[in-house]
């Protein structure tokens, strides 16, 4: 477990080599560039906002083109394609794409224009469909909808709210107080909510007609066409066919352009890395002929980078150790077993400059506690073999995903071992299958004991594991204090608490409370009982007097000491949290046994075998999934709240090197 030691490196080089040097640094991905703020008449920063905007815009356009292709001509992928990771290409192949950028940019613009054209066609098609739908009630009309009548007669079409028959409509009109005698309405069609009518009248009665129509809640239709409705519908159907043909032609053109899909991905990543490079250029101090790069990098990589730069370019490099006041970034380095849990640690926070990297010790307890919570050998084996196969099948997957799968693979091994110790193999599946289908009483005995049969024994062990976990956290706190040469804090804030808590535990063991839990009475010799009391009282007095040692006022000092002693309740609360190990372990086993019992209900018949297989597979899949999730959540909680709460604050700044931050390809050096 280690936090890599960082060095501060200052590079001065010729401006003519800036492009190649920055590309080399970006490809190496080992230097976090530090922005210099001091400018003068000779050295100043360059405004690169225009270049950044240009390259980011091109990257966004290419992303848009890729999204369009994916929407209309999806790339054929397997179900596990997301695990394949980025395609690895050489740096020569990566930068070769620059020679094709004009051609590819043209294709990108073509795809975007094709999408716009397709959207216009789809919009026109939808408009035709909406108009056809609106014309459906008027298909029986044999005159154009905008027909206005003859010299002396008026004509219009419209809609009346409500559903009417011819007789109902006549009665409705006659019920009006005043209606023109020349008014004549004819129903074209009707539905549940509206009646579609034509209105004929003498033009000299127009004013009375309009008044009558208002009383009838008459309104004009949403669409008016210049042809007979049936002809208008036919015309729009023909237009839809044209739109469909145009859309298919555009899709065919897009399909030909899918051959360039990978080229689009490369050029997109190229533009993104160029934008990132110009962001760095904007941070650098530059003169007419030289430029400076300042930043942090791991000490173990300094010599290799320095040697390569000095061989290839005319540079001056100065390496120095960061001062205590500098905000140095943090980079963790761990082996595969411990490193799999780095995500858990960093999600809480990176260690600050006064702390150690807790990843290795966290990994041990993480696997240990996870296995107890799931504690079924069959579930553990499935977890292990599943994660192992995926890791072997997809060696280029993203490192974050690989670490997560490795973590669950090691959790699977722990679960397998605890399952063997506790005798859990799909619960009691072996015993149930033997009795139900073979009439024999078989089973694999637990190597240790069965928690379902001895829950109180399991509870005591869970609390013991909790004590070890918490005491380890307190011990790490003490180690960090000694590392900082703060012996007084080590004695007062760590040793005294060890003395006090161990004394309390020794006093508890011979009591009836512990005997009721353990089912066994333990009697200490007189000297040990006396020692436990001395340790408890001595530790308590020490904490009372020394916890507030920084206060000059003696009363305040005692009050702070008394308040610190109140943390005993916090220790008790933290310890009781480890009872969740028992709860989740029992939940896994009990649910598994219930599933097995339900599956065996149909007996030994053919139907019973089929029923058993179906219930067994569905039930155990559900049980494994839900309890795996529970084990993951509660193991994290025990690390974050109980364990880290004893010593770990975090607050360090993550190391973010200047690198090729690509989305689709992974660039390797030639």
- How would you write 194-212 as a 3-class SS string? EEEEEEEEEHHHHHHHHHH
Is 260 part of any domain?
Answer: no
Q: Extract the tokens encoding 605.
A: 């018949």
Q: What's the Rg (C-alpha) of the chain?
A: 39
Residue with token string 């190649």:
20
Q: How many structural domains are present in the chain?
A: 2
Q: What share of the chain is helix, strand, coil (3-state, %, to 5)?
A: 65, 10, 25
Per-residue confidence (pLDDT) for residue 563, from 0 to 100: 86
Per-residue confidence (pLDDT) for residue 175, from 0 to 100: 82
Burial label for 295, CB within 10 Å (0-12, 13-18, 19+), is: buried
d(CA 101, CA 112): 16
d(CA 460, CA 516): 11
Q: Extract the tokens encoding 552.
A: 């000059």
Q: What is the CATH number of the domain that holds 190?
A: 3.30.70.2750
Residues of the chain with pLDDT under 50: none
Is 259 part of any domain?
Answer: no
Which residues, at least 6 apart from 96, have a Cβ–Cβ distance to it below 8 Å? Answer: none
Q: Extract the tokens encoding 118.
A: 């397709």
Reading across the β-sheet that carries 153-161, which strands appear in turn?
Answer: 184-190, 194-202, 153-161, 218-219
Is 7 part of any domain?
Answer: no
d(CA 160, CA 162): 6
What range defines the domain where residue 204 resides?
A: 146-220
Neighbour tally for 62: CB within 10 Å: 26
Residue with token string 């530090």:
34
Is 572 part of any domain?
Answer: yes
Per-residue confidence (pLDDT) for residue 173, from 0 to 100: 82
Measured CA to CA in angstroms, residue 332 lies from 345, 473, 652 at distances of 10, 19, 11
Q: What pLDDT, in 10s, does the model give residues 484-498?
A: 999 999 999 999 999
Q: Extract the tokens encoding 171.
A: 């009665």
Is 306 part of any domain?
Answer: no
Residue with token string 């206005």:
148
Measured CA to CA in angstroms, residue 667 lies from 90, 266, 661, 663 at distances of 6, 10, 10, 11
Measured CA to CA in angstroms, residue 612 lies from 436, 588, 593, 622 at distances of 10, 19, 13, 15
In 3D space, the residue among 595, 560, 577, 570 whose CA is nearest the CA of residue 634 turns out to be: 577
Q: Which of residues 186, 220, 254 is at a domain's end?
A: 220
Q: Which residues pair with 167 in a beta bridge?
A: none
Q: What pLDDT, in 10s, does the model give residues 323-336?
A: 888 889 999 999 99
d(CA 231, CA 225): 10
Contact 14, 647 (CB under 8 A): no
Is 354 part of any domain?
Answer: no
Is 510 part of any domain?
Answer: yes
Contact 371, 417 (CB under 8 A): yes
Long-range Cβ contact pairs of 39-46 (< 8 A, separation 24 or more): 39/285, 42/287, 43/285, 43/286, 43/287, 43/292, 44/285, 44/286, 45/282, 45/283, 45/284, 45/285, 45/286, 46/281, 46/282, 46/284, 46/286
Is 603 part of any domain?
Answer: yes
Per-residue confidence (pLDDT) for residue 670, from 0 to 100: 62
d(CA 149, CA 156): 8
Burial label for 400, CB within 10 Å (0-12, 13-18, 19+), is: exposed
Contact 331, 1 (CB under 8 A): no
């Amino acid at each position: 477990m280690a936090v890599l030691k960082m060095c501060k490196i200052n590079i001065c080089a010729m401006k003519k080599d800036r492009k190649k040097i920055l590309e080399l640094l970006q490809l190496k991905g080992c230097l976090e560039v530090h922005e210099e703020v001091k400018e003068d008449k000779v050295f100043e920063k360059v405004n690169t906002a225009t270049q950044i905007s240009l390259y980011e815009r091109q990257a966004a356009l290419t992303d848009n083109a890729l999204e369009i292709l994916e929407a209309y001509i999806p790339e054929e992928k397997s179900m596990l394609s997301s695990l394949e990771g980025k395609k690895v290409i050489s740096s020569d192949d990566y930068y070769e794409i620059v020679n094709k950028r004009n051609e590819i940019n043209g294709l990108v613009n073509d795809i975007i224009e094709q999408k716009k054209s397709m959207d216009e066609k789809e919009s026109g098609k939808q408009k035709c469909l909406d108009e056809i739908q609106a014309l459906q009630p008027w298909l029986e009309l044999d005159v154009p909808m905008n027909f206005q009548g003859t010299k002396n007669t008026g004509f219009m079409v419209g809609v009346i709210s409500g559903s009417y028959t011819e007789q109902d409509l006549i009665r409705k009109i006659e019920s009006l107080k005043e209606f023109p005698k020349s008014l004549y309405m004819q129903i074209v069609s009707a539905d549940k909510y509206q009646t579609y009518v034509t209105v004929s009248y003498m033009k000299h009665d127009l004013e009375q007609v309009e008044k009558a129509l208002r009383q009838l809640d008459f309104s004009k239709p949403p669409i008016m066409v210049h042809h007979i409705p049936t002809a208008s519908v036919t015309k729009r159907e023909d237009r839809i066919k044209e739109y469909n043909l145009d859309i298919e032609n555009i899709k065919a053109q897009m399909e030909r352009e899918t051959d360039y899909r990978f080229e689009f991905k490369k050029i997109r990543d190229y533009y993104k890395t160029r934008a990132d490079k110009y962001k760095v250029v904007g941070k650098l101090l530059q003169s007419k002929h030289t430029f400076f790069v300042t930043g942090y990098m791991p000490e173990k990589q300094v010599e290799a980078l320095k040697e390569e730069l000095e061989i290839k370019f005319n540079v001056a490099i100065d390496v120095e150790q960061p001062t205590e006041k500098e905000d140095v970034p943090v980079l963790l380095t761990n082996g595969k077993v411990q490193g799999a849990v780095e995500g858990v640690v960093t999600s809480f926070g990176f260690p600050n400059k006064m702390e150690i990297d807790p990843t290795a010790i966290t990994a041990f307890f993480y696997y240990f506690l996870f296995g107890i919570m799931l504690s079924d050998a069959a579930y553990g084996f499935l977890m292990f073999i599943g994660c192992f196969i995926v890791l072997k099948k997809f060696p280029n997957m993203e490192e974050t995903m690989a670490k997560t799968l490795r973590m669950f693979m090691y959790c699977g091994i722990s679960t397998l071992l605890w399952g063997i110790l506790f005798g859990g193999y799909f619960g009691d599946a072996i015993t149930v299958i033997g009795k139900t289908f073979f009439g024999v009483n078989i089973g694999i005995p637990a190597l240790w004991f069965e928690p379902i049969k001895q829950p109180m024994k399991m509870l005591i062990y869970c609390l013991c594991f909790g004590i070890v976990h918490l005491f380890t956290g307190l011990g790490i706190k003490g180690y960090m204090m000694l590392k900082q040469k703060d012996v007084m804090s080590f004695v007062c804030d760590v040793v005294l608490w060890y003395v006090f808590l161990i004394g309390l535990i020794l006093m508890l063991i011979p009591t009836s409370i512990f005997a009721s839990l353990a089912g066994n009475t333990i009697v200490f010799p007189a000297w040990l009982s006396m020692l436990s009391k001395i340790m408890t009282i001595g530790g308590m007095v020490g904490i009372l007097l020394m916890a507030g040692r920084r206060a000059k006022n003696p009363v305040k000092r005692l009050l702070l000491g008394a308040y610190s002693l109140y943390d005993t309740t916090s220790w008790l609360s933290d310890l009781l949290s480890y009872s969740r190990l028992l709860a989740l372990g029992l939940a896994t086993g009990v649910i598994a046994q219930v599933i097995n019992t339900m599956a065996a209900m149909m007996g030994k018949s053919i139907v019973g075998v089929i029923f058993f297989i179906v219930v067994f597979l569905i039930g155990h899949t559900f049980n494994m999934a839900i309890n795996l999730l529970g084990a993951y959540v509660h193991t994290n909680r025990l690390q974050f709240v109980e364990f880290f709460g004893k010593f770990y604050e975090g607050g360090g700044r993550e190391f973010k090197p200047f690198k090729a931050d690509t989305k689709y390809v992974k660039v390797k050096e030639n």
